[in-house]
Structure 1
């Protein structure tokens, strides 16, 4: 018996298609979704798919997926993702440290699945402020910026004070002690004195990518009406 009800019209309604959130789903449930999607030729994005669950999938399903262990994402049907690589990037993902790479890569993969290319700039945290300043002119060329940072989340305030683009902040669970698995970075983003920061939940790369996609959709609508 089918245990899910696919939201076929979500992309039309919201601009972002349904994704398969794999945490809490069994390998059998995930495989059922993949199998039916292959049969109906549906493109799907799977998020939070652990390496263990991916390895446990039947080979007939595994071989159909483009899997990324770092971001724990998988894509079935690469047509849009391949097209994305041909388009110039309008979104840059700026990560404070290489420890934030998993969240940054999740964002990039969600954007890729939705036909949008992006660039990632890693290891520009404010502990060595010169690293960010060395790349700031490049960052300023993008109309949308997504920041990823753990620890105390200082990157968000500093970066937002240096750019005129909207900044989407993604606090990450990187850190220890009072960093509290990302809560300190989350509170830092919410309490920032730099205006115009939109804050996602901790490690919510998918949400950040969805917000960026909606911004681009709105921009294209406005551009089309002029």
Structure 2
């Protein structure tokens, strides 16, 4: 504690960052941010933009960058992204947006590296936005991401053609809507951990991801399943597995 207080007195550490190191979280103008989650859990706290004003999102992003060097924002729209852009305009922070996911990194943020590969698979184009969210999480953690798109079971040859490539990944995230069969099929073809992500595509009975979720939960092959459209959760789960693999190689 003394080292932190001396660093604040010397101007080497901001009061906000000192608070985060001492308490594990920071209370800002838009609420609390868990700055210690990355150290505690191995995965960062994300800022869910949905349901927040653009100003609240930008404020939380600023707090995250100040305390951890990076802000990971999910479910952000153009208005929210513009507010974040304005907040960091003229600074040294870099912004990277993919779909509805945005990462802001401070100038002193060192790129992370993990000696593990996450295979990211989509059944079709409609699954892309959910996969994008998972991809940003994995890439930000330093894992290599091998993305394989549009290999749904409607034409099973497309899946079978990728078996060798799928087998080379350390962990697989498989996104599928409609009946959600793709994760089950892939889990029966490889000896790699599979995380199934049901996507809210499809219509009629069992639409909005319900049939996909039910199908994955009832799978006769061994796989893990996250909630509907939960790309962030799947990405975090894959990162935890990737970290374990990276650590085992040391």
Secondary structure in structure 1 of the residue aligned to 2:33: coil
**1:81 positional shift:** 9.2
Alpha-carbon separation, structure 2, partners of 1:216 and 1:38:
24
Aligned to 1:114: 141
Alpha-carbon separation, structure 1, partners of 2:235 and 2:115:
16
> Is 1:212 the counterpart of 2:238 in the alignment?
yes
Aligned to 1:4: 31
> Is 1:124 the counterpart of 2:124 in the alignment?
no
User: CA-to-partner distance for each residue in 1:87-143, whole Å, 9 max, x for gaps?
Assistant: 776110111001111111111101112222201101100000001111111111111
Aligned to 1:15: 42
**1:197 positional shift:** 0.6
Contact 1:81 1:114 in 2 (8 A): no
Structure 1 pair 103–176 and aligned structure 2 pair: CA distance change class (3 A): same
Structure 1 pair 28–83 and aligned structure 2 pair: CA distance change class (3 A): closer
- The number of equivalent residue pairs is 221
> Is 1:68 the counterpart of 2:94 in the alignment?
no
Greater alpha carbon shift after TM alignment, 121-130 vs 38-47: 38-47
Secondary structure in structure 2 of the residue aligned to 1:68: strand
Greater alpha carbon shift after TM alignment, 201-210 vs 174-183: 174-183
**1:13 positional shift:** 1.3
Alpha-carbon separation, structure 2, partners of 1:140 and 1:78:
36
Structure 1 pair 216–69 and aligned structure 2 pair: CA distance change class (3 A): closer
Structure 1 pair 39–80 and aligned structure 2 pair: CA distance change class (3 A): closer
Secondary structure in structure 1 of the residue aligned to 2:196: strand
> Is 1:154 the counterpart of 2:181 in the alignment?
yes
Aligned to 2:228: 202
Unaligned runs of 5+ in 2: 1-27
Unaligned runs of 5+ in 1: none
**1:168 positional shift:** 0.2
**What's the RMSD between the two structures over aligned residues?**
2.5
2:199 aligned to which of 154, 157, 172: 172
Aligned to 2:163: 136
Higher-Rg structure is 2
- Structure 2-normalised TM-score? 0.79
Alpha-carbon separation, structure 2, partners of 1:95 and 1:61:
33
- Structure 1-normalised TM-score? 0.87
